[in-house]
Amino acid sequence: MGVPLTDEAELLAGAVRLVQEHTDLPLCIDSSVVEALEAGLAAYEGKALVNSVTCEEDRLERVLPLVKEHGAAIICLVNDETGIPATAEDRLEVCKRLVDAVHGRYEIPLEDIVVDPLAMTVGADPQAVLTTLETIRLIRDEFGLNMTLGASNVSFGLPSRHALGAGFLAVASYAGLTSAIMDARNSQTVDACRAADLLFARDEWAMNWIAAHRQAEAARA
């Protein structure tokens, strides 16, 4: 809703109400304008997901009271005022500080914290994906938190982006990634996620895999 020269708070609140008239799916409210987040959360019916906070004190102080007041969940990016940490260990340290603030200081439940371990393009840094995967593993082992990230970031600037994204999501889910910002309209990406669930024993007896196959066959017929 970040359209220039508009009242973003009014626009976001109206959008939330309009969308909720047509679906009961949960929404993620995303705005850099705190007043807009406040208006969107006030208009929202149910438990929202807010995107996002970094480990920067001024942002935490402005956003987290709203999250707590409205019982929302919050996406926390593992970067701070110095930028994006270069190593997985440094990102874990930022995550620890975020947990101390979000859960310890503001008493937001751990289950309402979704960590973004930060996916960067492998086209600019050959080690970028390995760093992200190690960050995911460390956060999983240390805290067991839910995680999400922009899956398409890893393939930015490269050809065959859907193939790279599909491969990344499969290995990231094994490392501990529990959700992703992804294009659910792309069959290659969705099939990779379903395959990962089956191969990593999250789809017992291939029930979901077989059901999806039958659904696709029926649609083709």
Final residue of a domain: which of 116, 135, 158?
116
Q: CA 30, 35, 40 angle in degrees (round to 5)?
A: 50
- Local confidence band at 1 (pLDDT 50, 70, 90 cut-offs): confident
Q: CA 19, 49, 115 angle in degrees (round to 5)?
A: 145
CATH code: domain of residue 163: 3.20.20.20
| 81 and 10 in a common domain | yes
What predicted TM-score, i.e. pTM, was given to this entire model?
0.93
| 109 and 11 in a common domain | yes
Count of domains forming the chain: 2
| 160 and 130 in a common domain | yes
Evaluate whether 190 touches 157 at the Cβ level (below 8 Å).
no
* DSSP letter, residue 103: I
- Domain containing residue 182: 125-221
Quote the CA–CA distance of 41 and 16 in Å, as a whole number.
9
| 103 and 7 in a common domain | yes
| 219 and 151 in a common domain | yes
Q: Both tokens of residue 36?
A: 């807009």
Final residue of a domain: which of 55, 88, 116?
116
| 6 and 109 in a common domain | yes
Q: Both tokens of residue 168?
A: 């990344």
pLDDT digits (tens, 9 = 90+) for 47-63: 999 999 999 999 999 99
Instruction: Judge whether residue 2 has pLDDT over 90.
Output: no
Instruction: Judge whether residue 200 has pLDDT over 90.
Output: yes
| 214 and 132 in a common domain | yes
Final residue of a domain: which of 116, 145, 175?
116
| 159 and 98 in a common domain | no
* DSSP letter, residue 24: -
| 69 and 160 in a common domain | no
Instruction: Judge whether residue 87 has pLDDT over 90.
Output: yes
pLDDT digits (tens, 9 = 90+) for 151-186: 999 999 999 999 999 999 999 999 999 999 998 899
| 175 and 68 in a common domain | no
| 137 and 108 in a common domain | no
Instruction: Judge whether residue 3 has pLDDT over 90.
Output: no
pLDDT digits (tens, 9 = 90+) for 100-147: 999 999 999 999 999 999 999 999 999 999 999 999 999 999 999 999
